[in-house]
Amino acid sequence: MFDIFNMLKKEEHTAPKQVTRDTIIGDILDMDQTTAPYFMEIGMHCLGCPASRGETIEEACEVHGVNCDELLEKLNTHLAAKKA
């Protein structure tokens, strides 16, 4: 039983391999706070707000009139560079 608990807990903290349109912004910020400037750059200045943290990347891009694919590329490039 204890091993199952540890396995689930470990999976909970495992960073996603890649950010997608459906990834929640709060999850990205919790995983890596150095991604915040990418959101600030598109006009998301209230990153501590529960509403903005609960949005998906796609929802935020739609609201802020930003190309979702470009933001995803920036975020994934940034995260990949940190893993290397």
The average confidence (pLDDT) of the chain is 83
- At 65-84, the pLDDT tens digits run 999 999 999 999 999 998 76
Q: Which of 22, 8, 42, 29 is nearest to 78 (CA)?
A: 29
Compare 40 and 48 and report the one with higher pLDDT. 40
Rounded Cα–Cα distance for residues 78 and 3 (Å): 33
**Which residue would you say has higher pLDDT here, 3 or 26?**
26
Residue 6 has pLDDT above 60, yes or no: no
**CATH topology (fold) of 25-83:** SP0561-like (1.10.3910)
- 45-77 in b/e burial notation, b at 16+ Cβ within 10 A? eeeeeeebbebbbebbbeeeebebeebbebbee
Q: Give the pLDDT score at 1.
A: 46
